[in-house]
Amino acid sequence: MKRIVIFASGSGTNAENIIKHFQDSGLAKVIHVLSNKKDAKVLDRAKVLGVANSSFSKNDLLETNTIYDLMLQLNPDLIVLAGFLLKFPENIISAFPNKIINVHPALLPKYGGKGMYGSLVHKAVVANNEVVSGITIHYVNEHYDEGNIIFQADTQLVSTDTFEDVAAKIHVLEQKHFPLVIEQLLN
């Protein structure tokens, strides 16, 4: 059974979807969910689904070996960033080469990089009158949103779309494709 660890900062709908996708799969299991926010809804979602979960500080991740040591102990086959907003540390990236992936709510290389996440991405897409947006699932490296692209899916936009409309379209793509791409990577 393959082991998945999820890092998330927010509500955790993608994390919940991934946990449920693999619950009875026989292929993989989400063994731990971590968040850099003590009150993140993702921790509640994990708890309800019976998945070990914990929060940590930015200092735990970036200035000590607390999270690095935990990753070595958990020894996941895949680390999934699902709405995780901190830059991932190089010591963990080095310890798990090509085993850390992220979903980005745009078609990289457009609308990527530091500060481009969530509604900020969707607002930029709308402001630039884009006619298409989408998701990018990519490997994580030492730079924001610059790891090798694994998968992209797009959706059409119309001129009347608000950033909330774009967010809803992107969420549909994430829910549909993210678990399937993870499954392909673990097979």
In the chain, domain spans: 2-186
User: Burial, 175: exposed, middle or buried (Cβ in 10 Å; 0-12, 13-18, 19+)?
Assistant: middle
The torsion region of residue 107 among left (phi > 0), alpha (psi -120 to 50) and beta comes to beta
Q: Which of 21, 104, 122, 138 is catalytic?
A: 104
Active-site residue flag, 138: no
Query: What pLDDT sits at residue 12?
Result: 95
Query: Which residue intervals of 7-146 are DSSP H helices?
Result: 13-22, 41-48, 58-62, 66-74, 90-95, 118-127
The answer, as to whether pTM is greater than 0.85, is yes
Query: What pLDDT sits at residue 59?
Result: 95
C-alpha 53/C-alpha 75 separation (Å) is 15
C-alpha 78/C-alpha 111 separation (Å) is 25
Query: What pLDDT sits at residue 99?
Result: 98
Q: Which residues pair with 80 in a beta bridge?
A: 6, 101
Q: Which CATH superfamily is domain 2-186 in?
A: Formyl transferase, N-terminal domain (3.40.50.170)
- Identify the sign of the CA torsion 109, 149, 184, 56: negative
Question: Going residue by residue through the chain (187 aa), what tens digit of pLDDT does each one get?
Answer: 999 999 999 999 999 999 999 998 999 999 999 999 999 999 999 999 999 999 999 999 999 999 999 999 999 999 999 999 899 999 999 999 999 999 999 999 999 999 899 999 999 999 999 999 999 999 999 999 999 999 999 999 999 999 999 999 999 999 999 999 999 999 9
